[in-house]
Structure 1
Amino acid sequence: MKSINLGLQIVPKSNHLDTYSLVDKAIEVIKASGIKYEVTPFETVMEGPEDELMAIAKKAQEAVLEAGADEVLVYYRMQIRKNGAVTMEEKTAKHKQA
């Protein structure tokens, strides 16, 4: 199955809980999935089959709600190539710091 890139930003809303700790719950789900990912200051980018990434994203948002968020804003960005895989490496390798 071909890989895509999916950028996921979950913005929790809570009157009582720390936002960063809620976001950490989403990242824990992504880490546990075993897929390739990269956490950035604004979103987490995942690489893998589209169906699998969408299922992981749904579990991540559910984890934030289960952790006590009153609501979540969820933003997806996807890059899908008609013929072939999309990788994070092809876009970022030349910019890696030594």
Structure 2
Amino acid sequence: MSPFNPTRGEVIATLGGREVRLCVTLRALAMLEHHFGVTGLEALGARLKSLSAADLSVVLTALSLEDIASLDIGFQEALDAVVAAFGALR
């Protein structure tokens, strides 16, 4: 794995026993706006406040800079990883 870039807002999370890089990119935000059917960051932020397990999986996949489809990821580690990724925004 190439080194992560904290200046870019990347974080390393342990998911399913593997270290994975996550980052809130423009692409990820656009994917999430589309998935949730909202327009704008304010509406997206409001929608992210009440996620189902399926929604959390979509968010985690959008933020991941790697393929995580085959990983067995627990709810709490997924939630912690998403919070860390959004917390890394500057």
- Common fold, TM-score beyond 0.5? no
Decide which structure has the larger Cα Rg and report it: 1
TM-score, normalised relative to structure 2: 0.35
TM-score, normalised relative to structure 1: 0.32
User: Larger strand proportion, structure 1 or 2?
Assistant: 1
